[in-house]
Amino acid sequence: MTRPVMKNIFQNRLVHLFPITLVLAAGLCAAANDAVNPVLRPPKGAQVAIVVFEDLQCPQCRRVAPILEQASKTYKIPLMRHDFPLPMHNWSYEAAVMARYFDATSKELGNDFRDYIFSNQLEINPQNLRGYAEKFASAHKVAFPFVVDPQGKYAAEVNADRDLGKAIKLEHTPTVYIVSSRHPDKPYVEMKDSNQLYSLIDAMMKD
């Protein structure tokens, strides 16, 4: 067989193999995406987002919260807040349940309550937490019942968030991720230092 003929046969085989290679590559990317916990993906309609697991009694969470909110506004990307009350804190779980109660009116109100708790964190204790919640409810013209969660619905939501954190082996609060649908090979990155936040977002927003 002559060299030109062998060359043509080789090129034809490459042409036929190329689409198969593309399909395999796409399949590998899809598999990588499927392996990522859904909590580490941007919400529908967004390509990049900030995800935070926070404890309302955690001092570092209090310090980081406004930084994350400002970054969310600056980049116009979602900030996905998850409750992760730690067992060593004596009122954070109850505060998270209260936040879920306000979430039921609107997510914005629930997050406003979380920020309100952070702003008063140093003065709050198990005995006066309800008083702070009642004051917040009154200021926002929202009823605050004597029994906040009679059916355990809001506690279940807090537990579900905590389970999400455990599923990704969360070890501390705040734990912050920048998540992106633009990088299948590296769909999320953890923020170790708040000074890195903007550079991490810039990197994840690049195509």
Q: In percent, how much of the chain has pLDDT > 90?
A: 78
Domain 38-205 part of CATH 3.40.30.10? yes
Q: What would the mean pLDDT of 160-179 be, rounded to a whole number?
A: 95
C-alpha–C-alpha distance, residues 153 and 101, integer Å:
9
Q: What would the mean pLDDT of 87-111 be, rounded to a whole number?
A: 97
- Which pLDDT belongs to residue 15? 43
Q: What would the mean pLDDT of 29-36 be, rounded to a whole number?
A: 50
| pLDDT for residue 3 is more than 70 | no
- Are residues 172 and 88 in contact, defined by beta-carbon separation less than 8 angstroms? no
| pLDDT for residue 123 is more than 50 | yes
Model's pTM, two decimal places?
0.81
Average pLDDT for the chain: 87
